[in-house]
Amino acid sequence: MLYIPVEVNGIAVKAFVDSGAQATIMSPDCAQRCGIMRLVDSRFAGIARGVGTARILGRVHSAQIKIGNLYLACSFTVMEGKQVELLLGLDMLKRHLATLDLRHNCLIIQDEKVAFLGESEIPKDSSDDDGEPTVEGPSGSKVGARSGAIVEPPAPVIRDNAPRGRYAEEVVNRLVDLGFTLQEAVSALDATNGDVDMAANLLLFN
């Protein structure tokens, strides 16, 4: 399991790097400790269901995170039921063009190299996956919120002939590629006035 030391709002946090998780997630305790609970948008509250269930308190749209010597903008979902304080998912890694360098045992982000924590520094309870809740992974797979392990294989992507309406094909396909039908993607876009990020969250966490 790959962890790096980061700072959120000046508070030291051990972040689990998980390129298999679609979304970046923070625990409520960590959000409280970092003093950013006031930034949580409760409109994105809901329930994550999988092997277990977990309550989603909402989403922080933008907070500053320090990785190495870099100060980066980060958005994440605040969710209960997980032992990992902060899980850096694929959305964050792709946004900042991060590289997992296993040869040199580090995360490279904007030419900044941050060494992964040693085994003795990894939180001891991070491997306990009894009743572990899941989050959405690539192509509709289910990923353990604590362990990052795939616990449910991707669902087949069903492409149908439902109308795309007024939305650009690439926008609709971003949602379809997450494992949803074309009709589900269009309906989510209709419900969020065409905001693809809000539509993705609506589909993933409801």
How confident is the model over 84-125, as pLDDT tens digits?
A: 889 999 988 998 999 999 999 999 998 899 999 998 888 875
In a domain, 33, yes or no: yes
Query: Would you state the pLDDT for residue 21?
Result: 82
Query: Would you state the pLDDT for residue 158?
Result: 38
Same domain? 66 vs 137: yes
Query: Bigger pLDDT: 54 or 168?
Result: 168
Query: Does 190 participate in catalysis according to the annotation?
Result: no
| Rounded mean pLDDT, 135-142 | 57
Same domain? 95 vs 195: no
List the CATH number of the domain containing 57: 2.40.70.10
| Rounded mean pLDDT, 13-42 | 89
Residues in CB range of 74: below 8 A, 6 or more apart: 8, 24, 62, 63, 64, 65, 92
Same domain? 44 vs 115: yes
In a domain, 157, yes or no: no
pTM of this prediction? 0.57
In a domain, 162, yes or no: no
Q: Which two tokens stand for residue 161?
A: 């002939």
Per DSSP, 1 falls in state -
Please state, for a pLDDT cut of 70, what percent of the chain lies above it. Answer: 75
Under the banding of pLDDT at 50, 70 and 90, the label for residue 152 is low
- The three-state secondary structure class of 66 is strand
Same domain? 148 vs 195: no
Same domain? 7 vs 106: yes
Number of domains in the chain: 2
State yes or no: pLDDT of 3 exceeds 90. Answer: yes
Residue-number span of the structural domain to which 42 is assigned: 3-152
Same domain? 145 vs 184: no
Out of 18, 91, 128, 195, pick the active-site residue: 18
Same domain? 79 vs 129: yes
Q: Please give the Cα distance from 43 to 198 (Å, whole number).
A: 10
Q: Please give the Cα distance from 196 to 179 (Å, whole number).
A: 15
The answer to whether 126 touches 147, Cβ cutoff 8 Å, is yes
Q: Specify the pairing of strand 25-26 against strand 11-17.
A: unpaired
| Rounded mean pLDDT, 3-11 | 92
Same domain? 16 vs 108: yes
CB atoms within 10 A of CB 129: 17
